Amino acid sequence: MGSTGRSAFQKLFVSARGWAADAKPFLLASQVIKESTGKDGKSAVWRAGFASPSRRAIKPYIWSGVQAEDAPSPGINPGTEDSYSPSNTSTQVFDMGFLKVDSDKAFDVAQKHGGDKITKKNADQPITYLLDWNARSSQLVWHVVYGTGADDAKLRVAVNASSGDYIRVEK
């Protein structure tokens, strides 16, 4: 049912390459649903954003590994194409080669930096994962968020997606 980020990402990447041969990723994020709350770095629903410089377009894709009321239909679901500007900081593309550490390992690191206290208190704590490029530090970063998003986050831990090193607790 659940998949690690890298496993879902590879499926999404193949679909994006079908849309545009020069498609490059700029985002990967998990989605919490009732049946899959993000435990152990796995999620039943992952969404990714890809940019195509030649088409000057971005396109989102969603992978769902579950048939559920609050999830998209199983398989890969492409979204609507939108315009792309390489100078937009929220859509900074990255090379897939930087993704050496999967979401389950990022979860393990986050647990050692405060996450374990939260999951001990609440075994059903929703956890979301966001992977993006940090242009300032030139790093691919997993953001492990104890909550369904930035607004209700009890804790946010940044982990280097290339080395697996703890970066910091994010405010």
Question: pLDDT tens for residues 112-135?
Answer: 999 999 999 999 999 999 999 999
The CA-based angle 12-74-128, given to 5 degrees, is 65
Which residues, including other chains, have CB under 8 Å from residue 102's CB and lie 6 or more apart?
4, 5, 6, 7, 41
Give the pLDDT confidence of 7-46 residue by residue, as tens digits.
999 999 999 999 999 999 999 999 999 989 999 999 999 9
pTM assigned to the model: 0.95
**Nearest Cα residue to 13 out of 88, 72, 95:** 95
CA 63 to chain centre: 11
pLDDT at residue 1, rounded to an integer: 66
Q: How far apart are CA 162 and CA 49, in angstroms?
A: 19
* Domain ranges, residue 70: 3-170
Instruction: Indicate the pLDDT class of residue 171, thresholds 50, 70 and 90.
Output: confident
Residues in contact with 155: Cβ distance below 8 Å, sequence separation at least 6, in sequence order: 110, 114, 115, 118, 145, 146, 147, 169
User: Is 76 within 8 Å of 15 (Cβ atoms)?
Assistant: yes
- Residue 89 confidence (pLDDT) above 90: no
- Bridge partner residues of 71 (DSSP): none
Q: What is the mean pLDDT of residues 42-57?
A: 97
- Number of structural domains the chain divides into: 1
User: For residue 19, how many other CB atoms are within 10 A of its CB?
Assistant: 15
Q: Is the pLDDT of residue 150 over 80?
A: no
Percent pLDDT > 90 in the chain is: 91
